Amino acid sequence: MAPEMHAIVEKQIYRTAYPVMMSFVFMGILEAQPPGSRDEYLSGFGGHPDSIHRAGLPGSEERNAAIKKVQEALQGMGQVLAQNSEGPCFVGSKPTYADFAMLAALMLLKTFGRDLWEEVKTWEGGRWEVYVQAAEPWL
């Protein structure tokens, strides 16, 4: 992967979108744990569900700011994706590191952060839902 693409992935996904996205998915991951695993999962958060950082209540200023930050990061990645005319991926028709990094974040949302995913999949004319569907053969 070209160094500039690595820098874009690092900035837009790992440093910007991913940390904010996780505040939308941690509770979904907890809810998906089998009963015997919940205490172990919670031990990483101080042992209690209230210690899990969340993006705020629907409609709250905190939540709206978090959503805006995710949207801005994804717009940056969308601009890069739009530059490729050879296929659904960032660089050509087959996925690269950038695609798997992006897909990991989107699949976490789709699976455990469904409320945010319902918004994300409509952004930019549905770009991210189409992107995930195009990547299904590699998932």
Question: pLDDT tens track of the chain, all 139 residues?
Answer: 566 877 888 888 888 888 888 888 888 888 899 988 888 888 888 877 787 777 777 788 988 998 998 999 899 888 888 888 888 888 888 888 889 999 999 999 999 998 899 999 999 999 999 999 999 888 8
Q: CA separation (Å) from 1 to 7, 92, 94?
A: 10, 12, 13
The enclosing domain of 57 has a CATH number of 1.20.1050.10
Q: Which domain holds residue 132?
A: 3-138
Dihedral sign computed on CA atoms, order 95, 96, 97, 99 = negative
Based on the structure, what is the number of domains in the chain?
1
